[in-house]
Amino acid sequence: MSRTDLLDALARPTQYDIAIIGGGATGLGVALDAAARGFSVVLLESHDFAGGTSSRATKLVHGGVRYLAQGNVALVREALHERQVLLRNAPHLAQPLPFIMPSYKLWETPFYGAGLKLYDALAGKAGLAPTRFLSRRETLQALPAVQPQGLKGGVEYWDGQFDDARLALALARTAAARGALVVNYCAATGLLHENGRVAGVRAEDRETGRQFEVRARCVVNAAGVWVDRLRELDGEAVGRKVRPIVAPSQGVHVVVDREFLPGRHALMVPKTADGRVLFGVPWLGKVILGTTDTPRQDLAREPRPFGEELDFILGEAARYLVKAPRLEDVRSCWVGLRPLVRPEDDEGSPTKALSREHTVLVSRSKLVTVTGGKWTTYRAMAEDVLDRCFDDGLLERARGGVTANLKLVGAPEGGELHAISEAPGPHLYGSESSTVASLPGAGRDLGGGLTEAMVRFAAREEQARTVEDVLARRSRLLFLDAALAGRLAPAVATILREETGRDPQEAAFAQLAASYLPQRQPA
């Protein structure tokens, strides 16, 4: 459906069953679940799908080893189940990955190994492979880049990894295939209230300024770290003051070349100098190092890392890698804001102590708000949202569990898959690879594995509107190599102009790409 057709459909006087504000992991998960159950669905995203936190994850589909250490067994068990569901339903975008936890003290291998054996036990039949205790020699064979001095051994365990932004696109397109109207660059500017209850959403197309009133029986606020803004609008309409529920936490990731961590294993350090977890994850031909957990009061659309965060990641990497990456080795650095949920009696708790679990609230005027959680459990979160809508009488109860075995767009029926750790290419399109290959420019490589045909596919099938949409989320080059992404912007812009007939905002992307190169920021 063209952009014009999408907006014309949005303008029709329709009473939707459910309107969703927010096109990240949570909102798209709710849209797909509701559409799959047969409800009429509209989703509005103010920017691009997964344009915020949902494209800036550590790229792990995991049960949460650190949550197990905190004793949160229920969250781990749920996440391990959902990990298996995601690997099954989107095998072109999510696959198993082996991790090594190196030991530099004699007690670490049995101690952490026992915990990871419990991790296996909680996974049960959803386990990927058994945890193995490794000798020093086996650890170095599996992870040749690890610091050998003082190494005692290690533990190998398995989790999953994925392409977060492309998974979000798959959710959006699968929901659309089930009848949902899913629109990016269309911002919710207000809420409609009738008789003290939420009755819909006011919206504005950010490209044309066209205004819409979208009516719905149920409105879901899934705006991530921005949910409190909508909650405040809802409260003002009914004369009620709203207490914020989100405490944003900043997570920084640094990307370097594979030479710093060659091989097929990821590195996991369970306890760094300040008690955090450090990951070194092979992803799309590069290595992601991270992450941090820093409170942040502002809600910037493009937050940047603080200098001490870069120092922390590079300093910790230097402790565990033979070849220590320096600031000039960083190909891209990016930041995600986690929507951590404040406890009821919060008096300024550190973000590491706040809830990683999701929360679903229904206001007096029946605005449904969902926040918190993580990518791995997006599907379970969506089910919880709909259950709450049923319990509060906003929707008629419908059959559940419809997405547990629902293959996402592009999921191949069989055949060999390329690992997500490999360089980007047509394999990320799964069963749609042949469609991409049939488009003009399939043989023209622009650089970094991106072809002219991929750009055309992004515009025609994936609602890409700008250079950023293509280079940040349809392909992931901005997150892999910001300098290369900047160099490819003119070629991508030319193709997008042909496809969309509009300004693809090349200059704005050039500034954005420059900001993804490491620059020390004041605290």
Q: Are residues 32 and 156 in the same domain?
A: no
The CATH number of the domain where 453 resides is what? 1.10.8
User: d(Cα 465, Cα 493) in Å, to the nearest integer?
Assistant: 10
**Listed range (18-32, 168-182, 324-338, 347-361) with the worst mean pLDDT:** 347-361
- Decide if 248 contacts 225 (C-beta within 8 A): yes
Please report which confidence band the pLDDT of residue 349 belongs to, taking 50, 70 and 90 as the band edges: very low
Please report which confidence band the pLDDT of residue 356 belongs to, taking 50, 70 and 90 as the band edges: low
Q: Are residues 157 and 251 in the same domain?
A: yes
Specify the residue for token string 């025609």: 460
Please report which confidence band the pLDDT of residue 520 belongs to, taking 50, 70 and 90 as the band edges: low
Q: Are residues 194 and 172 in the same domain?
A: yes
Q: Are residues 251 and 337 in the same domain?
A: yes
- Decide if 151 contacts 109 (C-beta within 8 A): no
> Is 20 a residue whose pLDDT tops 50?
yes
Q: Does residue 380 form part of some domain?
A: yes
**Listed range (24-33, 199-208, 267-276, 413-422) with the worst mean pLDDT:** 413-422
Q: What is the pLDDT of residues 502-511, one digit of tens each?
A: 999 999 999 9
Please report which confidence band the pLDDT of residue 271 belongs to, taking 50, 70 and 90 as the band edges: confident
Residues whose CB is less than 8 angstroms from the CB of residue 218 and which lie 6 or more positions away in sequence, other chains included = 17, 18, 19, 366, 368, 389, 394, 395
- Convert 16-34 to b/e letters by CB count within 10 Å (16 or more is b): bbbbbbbbbbbbbbbbbbb
Specify the residue for token string 């502002």: 298
In the listed set 341, 376, 402, which residue is the last one of a domain according to the structure? 341
Q: Are residues 334 and 202 in the same domain?
A: no
- Decide if 174 contacts 408 (C-beta within 8 A): yes
| Eight-class DSSP state of 471 | I
Q: Are residues 128 and 251 in the same domain?
A: yes
Pairing of strands 286-290, 278-283: antiparallel
Q: Does residue 108 form part of some domain?
A: yes
pTM for this prediction: 0.95
> Is 99 a residue whose pLDDT tops 50?
yes
Q: Does residue 106 form part of some domain?
A: yes
> Is 461 a residue whose pLDDT tops 80?
yes
- Token pair, residue 487, equals 């160099």
pLDDT of residue 415: 57
Q: What is the pLDDT of residues 100-130, one digit of tens each?
A: 999 999 999 999 999 999 999 999 999 999 9
Q: Does residue 397 form part of some domain?
A: no
Q: What is the mean pLDDT of residues 10-32?
A: 97
Q: Are residues 156 and 185 in the same domain?
A: no
Q: What is the mean pLDDT of residues 283-287?
A: 97
Q: Does residue 76 form part of some domain?
A: no
The CATH number of the domain where 207 resides is what? 3.50.50.60
Q: Are residues 151 and 236 in the same domain?
A: no
Q: Does residue 387 form part of some domain?
A: yes
- Decide if 249 contacts 295 (C-beta within 8 A): yes
Q: Angle formed by the axes of helices 164-177 and 25-36, to 10°? A: 30
For 453, the domain range is 426-515
Q: Are residues 366 and 431 in the same domain?
A: no
Q: Is 511 exposed, middle or buried (0-12, 13-18, 19+ CB in 10 A)?
A: exposed
Q: Does residue 47 form part of some domain?
A: yes
Q: What is the mean pLDDT of residues 135-152?
A: 97
**Listed range (120-124, 276-280, 413-417) with the worst mean pLDDT:** 413-417
Q: Helices marked H in 403-461 — which ranges?
A: 433-437, 452-461
Q: Are residues 183 and 299 in the same domain?
A: no
Mean pLDDT of the chain: 93
**Among 432, 437, 435, 427, which Cα is nearest to 410's?**
432
Q: Are residues 337 and 357 in the same domain?
A: no
Q: Does residue 155 form part of some domain?
A: yes
Query: How many other CB atoms are there within 10 angstroms of residue 301's CB atom?
Result: 10
> Is 350 a residue whose pLDDT tops 60?
no
Q: Are residues 332 and 384 in the same domain?
A: no
> Is 362 a residue whose pLDDT tops 80?
yes
Q: What is the mean pLDDT of residues 332-340?
A: 94
